[in-house]
């Protein structure tokens, strides 16, 4: 550090970043709990794993995705996607489809029940995004540019 000016402030920021990092590391658990709570409230569907919900989300956002596409989108193995889609087929959240000219490749679509889960997942993301938007609207344009530059610098160094 060039000098001690701002050392206290930098230490405070580092401590806050550590806290934020811990929160982000636990985020999938928090996200899954929030999603289960919303599913219980808005949908009769319960007991879905977060990975299953993300496969439903991927299928809902894309037209006729196959296992290879889903695996790439979610950064998972094709074998893992195969297991998840088998469970989702049994639970009747998705349907397996074949194109007329290709009976080998399976493409997936959501059932009515799968569409409900997809909508609830989108609602959760809307709620989470709204929290961030509400915080960011407290800052003026110059401050937002500084925040954005800081995040860019941070991400480029990680």
d(Cα 77, Cα 57) in Å, to the nearest integer? 17
User: What are residue 109's phi and psi, to 5 degrees?
Assistant: -135, 165
Report how far apart, in Å, the C-alpha atoms of 143 and of each of 17, 85, 109, 110, 140 are: 18, 45, 43, 42, 5
Q: Pick the residue with more confidence: 115 or 154? A: 115
The length of the chain, given as a count of residues:
158
Instruction: Indicate whether 68 belongs to any domain.
Output: yes
Q: What pLDDT is recorded for position 41?
A: 67
How confident is the model over 93-100, as a mean pLDDT?
Answer: 90
Say which CATH number the domain at 41 has: 1.10.10.10
For residue 124, the enclosing domain spans 7-157
Domains identified in the chain, total number: 1
Structural domain contains residue 1: no
In a domain, 2, yes or no: no
In a domain, 81, yes or no: yes
Higher pLDDT: 17 or 38? It is 17
| Burial profile 32-64: b = 16 or more Cβ within 10 angstroms, e = fewer | eeebbebbeeeeebeebeebbbbbbbbbbeeee
């Amino acid at each position: 550090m060039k000098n001690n000016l701002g050392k206290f402030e930098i230490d405070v920021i580092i401590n806050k970043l550590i806290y934020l990092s811990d929160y982000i590391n636990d985020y999938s658990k928090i996200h899954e709990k929030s999603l289960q709570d919303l599913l219980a409230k808005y949908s009769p569907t319960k007991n879905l794993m977060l990975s299953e919900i993300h496969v439903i989300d991927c299928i809902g956002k894309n037209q006729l995705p196959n296992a290879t596409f889903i695996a790439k989108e979610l950064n998972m193995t094709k074998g893992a996607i195969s297991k998840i889609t088998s469970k989702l087929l049994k639970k009747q959240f998705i349907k397996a489809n074949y194109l007329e000219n290709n009976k080998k490749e399976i493409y997936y679509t959501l059932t009515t029940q799968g569409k409900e889960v997809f909508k609830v997942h989108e609602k959760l993301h809307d709620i989470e995004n709204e929290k961030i938007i509400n915080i960011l609207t407290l800052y003026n344009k110059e401050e937002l540019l500084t925040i954005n530059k800081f995040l860019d610098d941070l991400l480029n160094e990680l």
